[in-house]
Structure 1
Amino acid sequence: MRQDRRLIGMGRVMIYALAAAVFVTLGLSFAGALHPLGDSLAVFRLPLAGLAALLCALIWLSGLRRAALAGLALLALAEVPVIQSYLRAGAGHDFTLYQKNLYARPADRQAQIADIAAVAPDFLTLQETVPSNRHVLASLKEQLPTQLDCAEPGQSGVALASRFPAIPGSAICAQRLAALQLNTPKGAVWLVSMHLHWPWPHEQAEQLAGLLPVLRGLEGPVIVAGDFNMVPWSHTVRQVARATGGKRAGPVRGSYDLFHFMPIAIDHVLAPGGGVNWLRGKLGSDHRGLVAHVAL
């Protein structure tokens, strides 16, 4: 009998300790402004919340009902930014944009070319452009005649294209970013294609620190799209939104399968008036495409 009580007591201690660790980790996922580790943990905020809710239920059953209720209240507050990210950020439709990380490995690209052509976007943003997939951009030259491909030696590049003409002298290539100002029926609009590195312990924060002055220096409306390698409720995405005056096109769409089974939203489109997006197929890539109707 005593041994059973001892085992039950040990089980409760383990649950309490695990709950404390999960809530601390969840709290650290909000610390991206203080250290890039926070954004890395933000990627796992939803599964952490699920685990925390389960542990609160076990704490309730153990008899500590006030502690369980307090934990659930904190959990509800913690998930507000996530819930907000799942809401649509706007419903205007000035332009259609097709966003795609092509994936640097060789693959058959004909289905991808056909899908872009079928969507007939005003803007196209691409990442991981390499010699084996640059024919995708070339194949769309007639439909999207204005093109900018920013290739870096020894690395995959970023590219963009549009059916609207470019404003001469506006092209920018910098640290896996391509930007071009276009003369559209709505006036001059900047189009940006961006590919951020993986987060901490990789160099995403350092890369973004170098790109933010470039983004802030773009005068006029800015539409930025790309593979951010970061979830929408992160400090990283908020920084890009603030620098460009953009709102993320929603709702949240799982464009990449982390660990091959966990869909996460790391491809984003931001525009001054927000927008609405839809997923397309992978079509030879490890990322799903994203089509967005965006507003200025």
Structure 2
Amino acid sequence: MTTKNRSWLTLAAVLLPILFSVPLVLGFFGTIHPVFDSFAHFRMHLAVMMAVSAVPALFFGLWREGLMAIVLALTALATVLPSAPAPAADAETPAQSVGGQPEYKLLQLNLRYDNSYPDEVLRLIARESPDVLTLQEVSKDWRPKLKAIEARYPYNLYCPNRSRIGGVAILSRRPFALGTTAQCVGSLIGLARIDFGGRSAIITAIHLDWPWPFSQPRNVATIVPYFERLQGPMIIAGDFNAAPWSQTVRNIANASKAHAAEGLQPSWFAKGAPGFITRWIGLPLDHILVSERIINPQVETLDPVGSDHLPMLLRFSIGGIDDAGPDQQTVMLAR
């Protein structure tokens, strides 16, 4: 190797980690501008690429530069690594959560508007038999297919389509709480207070646009006032198109006073990818947030069913005692 070639390689070994570090660091400043929050969604991948790109610097004797880049990358990576998922409950045993309250199930899934395997989705629903479904991309092609299960899920809310990809929907085996009206906020969220054996909870299906420069910041500005006014036990489930450490998810969590359920894993990758690939290198775009009266929430990520998003099954119970009468903030949110 000539001296000139070695010089160029040495320069590249220093510059490449720096190039990855710029968007990585800017991603921590999402409160300043949405453009920085867009970088944050890829923090995990940028950190890994930065650490890998710093290895050649060590071979060229640039120990200080290489080690500094690796330490910075690992520090950033430590802020996004998910905790180990909790073991799934035995499906054959009627589960009882903390305090002896009955356990319920919610299935969250972005159907994908052009899913080529709808029968796999319907088989999943039949197998898991959730109490509530929160769905996204319920396109015109999906509506007749979902009609097949409406006898089992007679309480439902379909929100307006957002172009050809469809809208959000809530399907429930359990009735909407007496005196309340389910409603949509455009095509972004659907809200329904559902009666779980005398204790009710607000169930929200959500689907946000892509991050800046797309409409996600405007989406958040639209829906945050609704979450600030809601009261009582709440579950917010859906495709946020945002990573859990992003300002987008943080703003919604703060407004709703909810937190991420335990066990969430990366859920989005290329259509047709095996589930284990998605769980390792996919983006964590699907979330389930729960309020404090949702007891012992546990999420299990299930195998793919033809969508580019993995299904997520939430097991939960409801604690506390409902206030008397309907929640007027849910009945007429638009007032």
TM-score tier by shorter-chain length is 0.7 to 0.9
How far has the Cα of 1:88 moved from its partner?
A: 4.7
Residues 1:268 and 2:287 aligned together:
yes
How far has the Cα of 1:240 moved from its partner?
A: 1.9
Aligned with residue 105 of structure 1, among 111, 114, 117: 114
How far has the Cα of 1:259 moved from its partner?
A: 8.2
Map of 2:129 onto structure 1: 120
Residues 1:16 and 2:14 aligned together:
yes
Q: Aligned runs of 1:171-210 on 2, under 5 Å?
A: 171-175=182-186, 176-185=188-197, 187-210=199-222
- Measured at CA, do residues 57 and 108 of structure 1 come closer, stay the same or move farther in structure 2, by a change above 3 Å? closer
Greater alpha carbon shift after TM alignment, 187-196 vs 36-45: 36-45
Q: Letter of the aligned partner of 1:145 in structure 2?
A: P
CA contact (8 A) 2:116 2:306 kept: yes
Give structure 1 stretches of 5+ with no counterpart: none
More strand by share: 1
Q: Report the TM-score, using the length of structure 2 for normalisation.
A: 0.78
CA contact (8 A) 1:101 1:127 kept: yes
User: In the comparison of the two structures, how many residue pairs are matched?
Assistant: 293
CA contact (8 A) 1:179 1:192 kept: yes
Distance 1:205 1:116 in 2: 33
Map of 1:228 onto structure 2: 240
Distance 1:113 1:289 in 2: 12
CA contact (8 A) 1:148 1:159 kept: yes
| Higher RCO (CA < 8 A, seq sep 6+) | 1
Map of 1:36 onto structure 2: 34
Map of 2:250 onto structure 1: 238
Distance 1:295 1:244 in 2: 19
Distance 1:30 1:87 in 2: 24
- Measured at CA, do residues 295 and 38 of structure 1 come closer, stay the same or move farther in structure 2, by a change above 3 Å? farther
Q: What CA deviation, in whole Å up to 9, does each residue of 1:179-200 have, x standing for no partner? A: 0111223622100000111112
Distance 1:203 1:124 in 2: 26
How far has the Cα of 1:65 moved from its partner?
A: 2.0
- Measured at CA, do residues 293 and 38 of structure 1 come closer, stay the same or move farther in structure 2, by a change above 3 Å? farther
Q: What CA deviation, in whole Å up to 9, does each residue of 1:89-143 have, x standing for no partner? A: 8996843110111222264523311211221112110111122111343222232
Distance 1:12 1:192 in 2: 53
Residues 1:159 and 2:169 aligned together:
yes
Q: Letter of the aligned partner of 1:15 in structure 2?
A: A
Percent identity between the two aligned chains = 29
- Measured at CA, do residues 282 and 9 of structure 1 come closer, stay the same or move farther in structure 2, by a change above 3 Å? same
Distance 2:59 2:257 in 1: 47
Distance 1:42 1:257 in 2: 17
Greater alpha carbon shift after TM alignment, 41-50 vs 208-217: 41-50
- Measured at CA, do residues 89 and 171 of structure 1 come closer, stay the same or move farther in structure 2, by a change above 3 Å? farther
Map of 2:92 onto structure 1: none
Distance 2:313 2:71 in 1: 36
Greater alpha carbon shift after TM alignment, 198-207 vs 182-191: 182-191
- Measured at CA, do residues 95 and 271 of structure 1 come closer, stay the same or move farther in structure 2, by a change above 3 Å? farther
Distance 1:138 1:37 in 2: 41
Q: Letter of the aligned partner of 2:282 in structure 1?
A: P
CA contact (8 A) 1:230 1:265 kept: yes
CA contact (8 A) 1:149 1:157 kept: yes
SS of equivalent to 1:264: coil
Q: Report the TM-score, using the length of structure 1 for normalisation.
A: 0.88
How far has the Cα of 1:27 moved from its partner?
A: 0.5
SS of equivalent to 1:161: strand
CA contact (8 A) 1:227 1:267 kept: yes
- Measured at CA, do residues 244 and 88 of structure 1 come closer, stay the same or move farther in structure 2, by a change above 3 Å? farther
CA contact (8 A) 1:39 1:230 kept: no
CA contact (8 A) 2:271 2:308 kept: no
Q: Letter of the aligned partner of 1:283 in structure 2?
A: V
